[in-house]
Amino acid sequence: MKAISRVLIAMVAAIAALFVSTGTSHAGLDNELSLVDGQDRTLTIQQWDTFLNGVFPLDRNRLTREWFHSGRAKYNVSGPGADQFEGTLELGYQIGFPWSLGVGINFSYSTPNILLDDVSLFPVFNPLGSVITPNLFPGVSISADLGNGPGIQEVATFSVDVAGPANGVSVSNAHGTVTGAAGGVLLRPFARLISSAGDSVTTYGEPWNMN
């Protein structure tokens, strides 16, 4: 009995460890990429705490995929003139699907909860510091006629002007849908930093399967 009890305890401990590792697999820093720009500054872009929650579509259409997206994007600039950095921070997806029915692929996205980390919305007076607001950015929608597929589309869901050596943006439960895609839909989230001089660095996350 003691041997059996030890085996059961070991199995429970292994299962508990599995659940713990699954729950934290997308916590913390997910991915990053750096680039040395034309002014010898190092631009680093990162994605943190990315989570895409696929849900059953409200329209009950087999060709619709629906999800909610939460996560953070951060950037850091180091080197000469880092304090004077100005540019744009973008978030978006690469959307992949095996085939469509020849009626076009429709994508829609809305941002109900946005947190701007130390981003100045008012260049002279900004008593709020950070801002949380519903629908700060307008919804994004695209339509692409790709015949019978397969296909890949890249969509920048929103962008914000940033300044200074470090800043970030957080998204909570942003809503997205894809309609017209047959089979599974893969979403690869990305974050992109573009300097005012045109230098660009993009980091891509792991694909998420929206079956």
pLDDT at 18 over 90: no
pLDDT of residue 171: 86
Query: Using one digit for the tens of pLDDT, what is the confidence trace for 60-84?
Result: 988 888 999 999 999 999 999 999 9
| Residue 123, token pair as written in the block | 């260049």
Band (pLDDT 50/70/90 cuts) for residue 26 is low
pLDDT of residue 115: 53
pLDDT of residue 100: 64
Query: Using one digit for the tens of pLDDT, what is the confidence trace for 114-131?
Result: 555 544 333 333 333 333
CA-CA distance, 178 to 147, in Å (whole number)?
Answer: 16
pLDDT of residue 204: 98
* Residue predicted with more confidence, 14 or 143: 143
Instruction: Kindly tell me the sign of the dihedral angle through the C-alpha atoms of 80, 166, 140, 183.
Output: positive
* Whole-number average pLDDT of the chain: 75
| Residue 70, token pair as written in the block | 């939460």
* Residue predicted with more confidence, 16 or 33: 33
pLDDT of residue 177: 85
Beta bridge partners of 66: 55, 177
Query: Using one digit for the tens of pLDDT, what is the confidence trace for 194-207?
Result: 999 999 999 999 99
Band (pLDDT 50/70/90 cuts) for residue 99 is confident
pTM of the model: 0.72
Angle, CA 70 vertex, CA 83 and CA 20 arms, to 5°: 110
pLDDT of residue 44: 98
